[in-house]
Amino acid sequence: MTRVVRFREEGGPDVLQIEDVEIAAPAAGEVRIRVKALGINRAEVMFRSGEYLLAPSFPQGLGYEAAGEIEAVGDDVTEFAVGDAVSVIPAFQFDEYALYGELALAPARAVVKHPANLDWVAAAGSWMQFVTAWGALVDIAGLSAGETVLIPAASSSVGLAAIQIANAVGATPIALTRTRDKAHVLAEQGAAHVIVTEEQDLVAEVKRLTDGHGARVVFDPVGGPAFAKLCAAASEHAILFIYGALSDEPTPLPVLSVLGGLQTVRGYQLFEVTNDDARLERAKQFVMDGLANGTLTPRIDRVFDFDEIVAAHRYVESNQQIGKIVVTL
């Protein structure tokens, strides 16, 4: 028996329980991992709360992201061996695998031997954020040197990853934050410019910083009424990604701005990348290279113990964090 986190009803953090369960031997194409650390993600909070794209099936496990040691491999798995230090990339849904536990099964295609310079905490907190940002900015938008990307909610782990990836390809990241509290950290983390949206005119500032052109790429996890301003701050032929719904208000589509600017508004999910073997391999290589040479470095905001999983989820919901929240075992 091993300890895992499950929940038996939708609700707040308190529905999470640590239970003793039996973890099966890995089947073909699977590995079993002795988990050392877990990355906590907004998607897991939404799923637990009944606000995700999938509905839970009780008793339900959780977890998209983990790092640990290979404990067993399926019969046809040749790329990993017992004792390998690995990370798990989100390339499955909650109804397929769950990583919140002392032992966890994972599909081998979603597992990577992380660079030796990463400790367990950094390894567990890297892949969701960097692959998410890479897929939109590099793989789809083709962000390149000299271009500008606008990053709302920039203090999130994915927002910080987008800043680092923009810098890695020579683009200019403009970070957006509602209040001045997090502005200095965003600058320290590599944002070329930081706009405090409660104090500054977003559209005017972006136009000023881009010599009137606007941002060619917008990477938005929020939606809501502010989306119209993002369209106004974007350039002609811009691509605007919506990859989250942090706002609980309707998201208007400013038709004249989109038509006049020949703009593309596009929904985006990480799984576009991780469900495609070729794209997943390109993402692995980009992120692996960046983690190894230091151009990509996860900012860990806070680390919790496994027994504090409820507190960890409560902290995510507080929106105080700047970067990644990790749980260690």
Domain limits, the chain:
2-126+299-328, 129-271
Q: What is the C-alpha separation between 77 and 100, in angstroms, rounded?
A: 23
What is the H or E stretch that residue 159 is in?
Answer: helix 157-168
Q: What is the C-alpha separation between 7 and 22, in angstroms, rounded?
A: 16
**pLDDT confidence band for 246 (50 / 70 / 90):** confident
**∠289-294-297 over CA atoms, to 5°?**
100
Instruction: Check for a shared fold between 2-126+299-328 and 129-271.
Output: yes
| Residue given tokens 């495609």 in the structure block | 276
Q: What is the average pLDDT score of the chain? A: 96
How many CA atoms within 13 Å lie on the side-chain side of 294? 0
**∠1-316-4 over CA atoms, to 5°?**
5
Amino acid at 230: L
Q: What is the C-alpha separation between 25 and 105, in angstroms, rounded?
A: 8
**∠3-40-301 over CA atoms, to 5°?**
125
Tokens for 109? 């295609």
pLDDT one-digit tens code per residue, 117-167 = 999 999 999 999 999 999 999 999 999 999 999 999 999 999 999 999 999
**∠94-98-103 over CA atoms, to 5°?**
175
* 165 or 181: which leads in pLDDT: 165
263 within 8 A of 238, measured Cβ to Cβ:
yes
Q: What is the CATH number of domain 2-126+299-328?
A: 3.90.180.10
Put residue 21 in one of left, alpha, beta given phi > 0 → left and psi -120 to 50 → alpha: beta
Q: What is the C-alpha separation between 282 and 119, in angstroms, rounded?
A: 23
**pLDDT confidence band for 247 (50 / 70 / 90):** confident
pLDDT at 193: 98
**CATH classification number, 129-271, choose in 3.40.462.10, 3.90.180.10, 3.20.20.70, 1.10.8.100:** 3.90.180.10
Task: Please tell me the pTM assigned to this model.
Answer: 0.95
Q: Is the pLDDT of residue 263 over 90?
A: yes
Q: What is the C-alpha separation between 253 and 271, in angstroms, rounded?
A: 25
pLDDT at 54: 87
